[in-house]
Amino acid sequence: MEYFILGTLFFALVAYCVAGGADFGVGILEIMSPADKRRRVRELSEKAIAPIWEANHVWIVLIIVILFVGYPKVHTALTTSMHVPLLIMLLGIVLRGTAFTFRYYDIAEDATVEKLWTTLFRVGSVMVPLSFGAIAAGLHSGRVPTHPTTVWASYFAPWMTLFALASGVFTISLFAWLASVFLCGEVEDESERKQWQGRARWYGIACFSIGGITSATAVLSGSLSSSELFGPVAISSVVVASLAAVLVHRSVGESPWVPRIAAAVATAAILAGYWLAHYPVAVSMTESDLTWHAAAAPEASLKALAITLSIGLLVITPCLAALYKVFKSSEY
């Protein structure tokens, strides 16, 4: 039962990073694209993410609910020690969602208003993955206080590290890569598709290069030992992610779904490698690590949660699939 709940938690995390990551990534691509290409990136992104840009957040809500009900101690550590990056992440989500809507509908003769919404959209797109990566690194930094102490030690020290910064930058690069792969499937013109193929390859190379640097900072910060970094779990995740990435770049531009699925597999492998490298530790604290089993709610609560999740997934998953199919159909 506990493995099922943790598996669902991991599934929700992967779903948010893949679908939501590609969503946030389009804003990052707008920033990184040449000025004369940004309008085109915007046109493609609005077409691509329109079906699911709001629905993606169901996964982050599900993650919070699972932690709150099934693992309250983890939820407490997360919302306390990571309060600041969580707040930044929430502001980024709100800013980005608002700007995405208003830059489309708030059209005036004065272009300043549209530029404002576009700027907020891009800033929000960076704030979320940067905070997301910092939170993931902060929970395993070993700096989360077992008992509240000073403001700095309780709310800033756990996530203000080189590893947290590197993790945030890596998450930005990962989301940008996912967005480039997804947008390549939206392009119909052959010459333009080849340009996107090249971009996707370069973003992929950048992502895996930054991932290597992030792994090095994890060892230097003590979040991972060298034996864990070069252990069978880490090596297996790197191999799977690398093979999936190769498949992405061999098929990107030729098929819209093969590279997307392969990119999702690569993302899942990266997350699984990081998760399993720390398992069963949920949060690395200053005095003693908090494990998933120790943080679990009473068995009655876990049983009720498992039943609810089973029913919920049976409803949510096909509904999201139907939503995407309807909005992406040629008749729409």
* Res. 172: pLDDT tops 90: yes
Helix (H) or strand (E) holding 281: strand 281-283
In angstroms, the CA 313 to CA 8 distance is 9
* Res. 331: pLDDT tops 60: no
Residues 187-223, buried b or exposed e (16+ Cβ, 10 A)?
Answer: beeeeebeebbebbbebbebbbebbeebbebbbebeb
Residue 290 three-state SS: strand
Question: What are the extents of the domains in the chain?
Answer: 2-328
- Per-residue model confidence as pLDDT tens digits over 276-307: 988 999 999 988 899 999 999 999 999 999 99
Say what the pLDDT of residue 225 is: 73
Say what the pLDDT of residue 72 is: 96
Mean pLDDT is lowest, of 57-66, 157-166, 216-225, 294-303, for 216-225
Q: 314 or 45: which carries more pLDDT confidence? A: 314
Say what the pLDDT of residue 329 is: 60
Say if residues 214 and 155 touch (Cβ distance below 8 Å).
no
Residue 285 three-state SS: strand
From 38, 11, 9, select the one nearest 26 (Cα to Cα): 38
The model's confidence at residue 332, banded by pLDDT at 50, 70 and 90, is very low
Say what the pLDDT of residue 144 is: 92
Q: Would you call the peptide bond into 256 cis, given omega within 30 degrees of 0 as the criterion?
A: no
Neighbour count for residue 76 (Cβ, 10 Å): 15
Q: What average pLDDT does this structure show over 70-81?
A: 94
- 290-291 and 281-283 strand pairing: antiparallel
Say what the pLDDT of residue 268 is: 96
Percent of the chain with pLDDT over 70: 95
Say what the pLDDT of residue 108 is: 65
- Per-residue model confidence as pLDDT tens digits over 216-271: 998 888 777 777 777 888 899 999 999 999 999 888 877 778 998 999 999 999 99
Cα torsion 56, 117, 126, 44: sign: positive
In angstroms, the CA 267 to CA 28 distance is 18
In angstroms, the CA 210 to CA 220 distance is 15
Say what the pLDDT of residue 110 is: 67
Say what the pLDDT of residue 224 is: 75
* Res. 54: pLDDT tops 80: no
* Res. 84: pLDDT tops 60: yes
Which range has the top average pLDDT, 18-22, 100-104, 208-212?
A: 208-212
The model's confidence at residue 328, banded by pLDDT at 50, 70 and 90, is low
Percent of the chain with pLDDT over 90: 52
Say what the pLDDT of residue 109 is: 63
Q: Compute φ and ψ for 158, nearest 5 degrees.
A: -60, -30
Mean pLDDT of the chain: 88
